[in-house]
Amino acid sequence: MSEMFCFQCEQTAGGKGCTKVGVCGKKPEVANKQDELTGAMIGLARAAAGKNPGQAADKLMMQGLFATITNVNFDEKRVDEMIAAVRAEKAKLDAAAQDFPAADLWSGNEDIVSLRSTLLLGLRGMAAYAWHAAALGKTDPEVTAWFYKGMKALGDEHSAEEWLGLLMEFGQVNLKCMGLLDDANTSAYGHPVPTTVPTLVEKGPFIVITGHDLHDLKQLLEQTAGKGINIYTHGEMLPAHAYPELKKYPHLKGNFGTAWQNQQKEFDNIPAPILYTTNCLMPPRVSYADRIFTTDVVGYPELKHITGEHGKKDFAPVIAKALELGGYKEDQHFTGINGGTQLVTGFARNTVMGVAGTVIDAVKAGAIKHFFLVGGCDGAKPGRNYYTRFVQQTPKDTVVLTLACGKYRFNDLDLGEIGGIPRLLDMGQCNDAYSAIQVAVALAGAFKCSVNELPLTLVLSWYEQKAVCILLTLLALGIKDIYIGPSLPAFLSGNVLNILVEKFNLHPITTPEEDLKAILG
């Protein structure tokens, strides 16, 4: 009998599932507790049926789903606390409502398990986006209600056709959720503008902040102002530099390191604290574990955790650690994966729409022949250099849009320009897939065609559950001919995969050369 079962990430053991310990470092005890938490949340959804569950239950639903995303929470005690809180809230609504047995989550008919798992993993991804939007005071009753609908559905019997219908409905709701977060971020911090971000780390005290939560970054910037401490983003926090209300802080200096999977090497003996606001947290090495701080749903045994009341946090311990460690004695010149020394971000929908006329004219004149969206999650598994090579080999009359941490494979490359438009446009974090969708819809409108008829190809890399909810949104919108890699999800059974291939012409990536030839002819 296996000690655990988890197949939710791209790096799952043997491409089938982790059964002894998670490839991510998650121990069996934590994996099993997370399954128990999931079963308890299905119980909460059952108890909430036909009722108004209230803000406390809403928060727990988002928090519990978010905490079970890959590389978020490794702390068994914290997961236990969430289980107790969920059950207490369930008892207020309907004490007779039954939890879903944890052991049944991954057992049964292979295709039904596949479809159920796909919905669950999508819900986990959407919960992260809803959590960030809620931190900025933005909620949507339809999105919130769908967490209960989706979780309750996980515990019910459905035909394969009904499961597919739920997945497509979920994809549409996730689009609304991403739009909600887009509105939350742009209302609070303004629309992103093109911004060059250095990889140089100046001498003196500094803090590295990683994850996705811009609200945490804003509070950290406010609390470090005038203290002689510089702030550097890491991973998915890079696009923060493009928001006017964040970039106005002069001590938001640059970006430290590359994508999440390189952190154990890049953070080794770093003379500064690291604040984790979301995933991806890897089991830390001794050389820097004493300077890691987690917050919100992120957790790891024995690491220092920053709590807050009503969204307000005191980062004094992080600031004190930065002053204690002192930073580097001299400026440090770092580079991206390909040796580049600066990164450019901020090409979200508002910026791209602002030059839409120029883009449309360039397409009509033949100066731009094709658009590629190359983005998604990065990871450590061999084969991800495919995305670097793909972008390097795109013809000079094509434009590459990118987003999420997969861009670190090539975001330090200089691809040049077409008529003043950079060939490489970083649209932001993974949730900024919303921006890419809005741009595609606008271009389709301008050319009086469907999105599928545009000279546009999506080439996606995936790792965790936010990529799953984005993929479901793209499929729900009817977008076809998506290329996905570096490997196919283990949770997709052969029959379910065949349905997606037949209905949406989903392509597993092969080689950059073969795929470019197939796309461009």
Q: Mind listing the pLDDT tens digit for each residue in 224-245?
A: 999 999 999 999 999 999 999 9
Strand order in the sheet with 483-485: 424-426, 398-402, 370-376, 456-461, 483-485, 507-508
Q: For 137-196, what is each residue's pLDDT tens digit?
A: 999 999 999 999 999 999 999 999 999 999 999 999 999 999 999 999 999 999 999 999
Decide: helix, strand or coil at residue 372: strand
Helix (H, G, I), strand (E, B) or coil at 113: helix
Provide mean pLDDT across the span 383-402. Answer: 97
Nearest to 246 by CA among 279, 209, 282: 209
- Tens digit of each residue's pLDDT (9 = 90 or more) over 78-95: 999 999 999 999 999 999
Q: Please, which residues bridge with residue 484 across strands?
A: 460, 508
* Closest C-alpha to 31, from 40, 39, 22, 43: 22
Domain spans in the chain, listed from the N-terminal domain onward: 13-168, 198-333, 346-520
Q: What pLDDT was estimated at residue 46?
A: 98
Q: How far is CA 127 from CA 131, 133, 143, 146, 215, in A?
A: 6, 10, 9, 10, 16
Question: Residue 192: what residue type?
Answer: P
Q: What is the pTM of this model?
A: 0.98
Nearest to 16 by CA among 6, 1, 27: 6
CATH code of domain 13-168: 1.20.1270.20
**Closest by alpha carbon to 276, among 205, 206, 211?**
211
Q: What is the mean pLDDT of the chain?
A: 97
Please state which of the four CATH numbers 3.40.50.300, 3.40.50.2030, 3.40.1410.10, 3.40.50.2300 is assigned to the domain occupying 198-333. Answer: 3.40.50.2030
Alpha carbon 38 to chain centroid, angstroms: 20
- Model confidence pLDDT, tens digit, residues 467-504: 999 999 999 999 999 999 999 999 999 999 999 999 99
- Size of the chain, expressed as the number of residues it contains: 521
Mean pLDDT of 280-285: 97
Residues 6 or more apart whose Cβ sits within 8 Å of residue 157: none
447: burial class by Cβ within 10 Å (0-12, 13-18, 19+)?
middle
- In this prediction, residues 7-35 reach a mean pLDDT of 97
Tokens of 484: 């996905």
Under the banding of pLDDT at 50, 70 and 90, the label for residue 1 is low
Give, as one character, the DSSP assignment of residue 313: E
* 2 band by pLDDT with thresholds 50, 70 and 90: confident
3-state secondary structure of 403: coil
- Cα of 492 vs its chain's centroid, Å: 20
The long-range contacts involving 443-448, CB below 8 angstroms and separated by at least 24 positions, are 443/356, 443/359, 443/360, 446/356, 446/360, 447/360, 447/363
Q: How far apart are CA 344 and CA 422, in angstroms?
A: 10
pLDDT tens track for 193-220 = 999 999 999 999 999 999 999 999 999 9
198-333 and 346-520 agree in CATH topology: yes
Alpha-carbon span 459 to 334, nearest angstrom: 28
pLDDT tens digit string along 424-469? 999 999 999 999 999 999 999 999 999 999 999 999 999 999 999 9
Instruction: Compute the distance between CA of residue 428 and CA of residue 255 in angstroms, rounded to an integer.
Output: 14
d(CA 179, CA 133): 10
User: Where does 346-520 sit in CATH, by number?
Assistant: 3.40.50.2030
Over residues 35-63, the pLDDT tens digits come to 999 999 999 999 999 999 999 999 999 99
